[in-house]
Amino acid sequence: MTTHHIDNINVTAFDEMPTPEEIHTRLPLSEKAAKTVTHGRHLLRNILDRKDHRLFVVVGPCSIHDPVAGLDYARRLKKLSEEVGDTLQLIMRVYFEKPRTTVGWKGYINDPFMDDSFRIDIGMAKAREFLLQVAEIGMPTGTEALDPNAPQYYGDLITWTAIGARTTESQTHREMSSGLSTPVGFKNGTSGDLSVAVNAILSASKPHSFLGLTNQGRVAVVRTKGNGYGHIVLRGGDGRPNYDTVSVAMVEQALDKAKLPHNIVVDCSHANSFKKPELQPLVMADIVNQVRLGNKSLLGVMIESNIEAGNQSIPADLSQLKYGCSVTDGCVDWATTEKMIREAAILLRDVLPERLS
């Protein structure tokens, strides 16, 4: 009996994807890249466990669309990380998937040619290739996990994972996070609600069983042991910031109630800067000041940064794209990024070691 009249009514095609194993074989993990990832995860866990006094900084473009400019940025960031590494652990923000409130460019994996051709098969390979190149530079990376199948393709190259404000409440993403090999930052809801992030941390810390994908491309029941390195990321909500001292104290109370460690990261972008990238340095300065005044819960920050400031629309003629400028959210430029990070390192260099005493 055929079911075409009742099944997949709104599906126009099934285009086969290469399996994770096939892409891993084509783009294998190098020894140098593996060392970058392993070392980066180890350092990050030590920060979250209070064995390392440093602050971690996830900094980079809102999204990757040009791998040439992306690698240019990675090399600059690597040089800066060597300069401030005694105080700040830098992690390059490498976002390939962009969740959309309605419609828009969905990112480098979904549409690598930025022409609505949606060659996800090519985009996935290009994403892995880019991560390999960044890891071989020696720069650890952080990304947002949006598609639950994507980590099978490039999760071995990621040091830190974010779960976005739109998906923190999703059972699928909490289950996936319970099996990820990285520490995971859960953002508060777009409304500013903290409870969804706290509940997500609790959920992801427990074992789960769910449908997933094997490296061989087969659907399987994935069984996890739970991820003990979940933490909260404050990104503001409902158009209002939530990084001030009162908001941070409320988060600490919520974490206490849930019997969770006081591990808090602040996203300098989004509602915390009223979606004005030029305000990110003020947010960063406030966080640095809170740490200098004795706060011990603030362990990390996120910054949306690129080579050039602001953002741009995607033109019909892609040759007209401005080099090193975001095509999604606006960013601070490289000069501002250097200034933010250097100033933070200077102000915190003698303060952070005292937090472990």
Which residue type is seen at 203? S
Identify the band that residue 281 occupies on the pLDDT scale cut at 50, 70 and 90.
very high
Query: Does the pLDDT value for residue 39 go beyond 70?
Result: yes
Three state DSSP letters for 166-235: CCCCCHHHHHHHHHCCCCEEEECCCCCCCHHHHHHHHHHCCCCEEEEECCCCCEEEEECCCCCCEEEEEC
171 neighbors 183 (Cβ within 8 angstroms): no
- The tens digit of pLDDT for each residue in 151-209 reads 999 999 999 999 999 999 999 999 999 999 999 999 999 999 999 999 999 999 999 99
Q: Are strands 219-223 and 209-213 parallel, antiparallel or unpaired?
A: antiparallel
What mean pLDDT do residues 95-101 have?
Answer: 77
Within a domain: 313: yes
Count of structural domains within the chain? 1
Mean pLDDT of 237-243: 96
Evaluate whether residue 190 is within a structural domain.
yes
281 is a domain residue: yes
Q: What is the mean pLDDT of residues 220-236?
A: 98
Secondary structure (3-state) at 337: helix
Mean of pLDDT over the chain: 96
Distance, CA of 161 to CA of 185 (rounded, Å):
6
Residue length of the chain: 357
The model carries a pTM of 0.97
Q: How confident is the model at residue 98 (pLDDT cuts 50, 70, 90)?
A: confident
Report if residue 105 sits inside a domain.
yes
**Paired strand residues for 243:** none
In a domain, 241, yes or no: yes
Region 71-82: mean pLDDT is 98
> Is the confidence at residue 108, as pLDDT, over 70?
yes
Cα three-residue angle 160-85-247, rounded to 5 degrees: 55
The pLDDT value given to residue 184 = 98
**What pairs with residue 322 in β-bridges?**
none
Q: What is the structure's pLDDT at 101? A: 56
Residue 25 domain flag: no
CATH code assigned at 190: 3.20.20.70
Task: Read off the pLDDT band of 124 (50, 70, 90).
Answer: very high
Q: What end-to-end distance do the CA atoms of the chain give, in Å? A: 72
Share of the chain above pLDDT 90, in %: 94
Predicted pLDDT at 104: 80
67-84 and 334-348 helices, crossing angle to 10°:
20
What average pLDDT score do residues 210-214 get? 97
Q: Rounded to an integer, what distance in angstroms lies between the CA atom of residue 224 and that of residue 343?
A: 41
Q: What is the pLDDT of residue 103?
A: 65
Amino acid at 56: F
Any domain includes 129: yes
116 in a structural domain: yes
What's the pLDDT score for residue 110? 95
Range of the domain at 182: 35-356
CA dihedral (250, 255, 261, 267) positive or negative: negative
Q: How high is the pLDDT of residue 231? A: 98
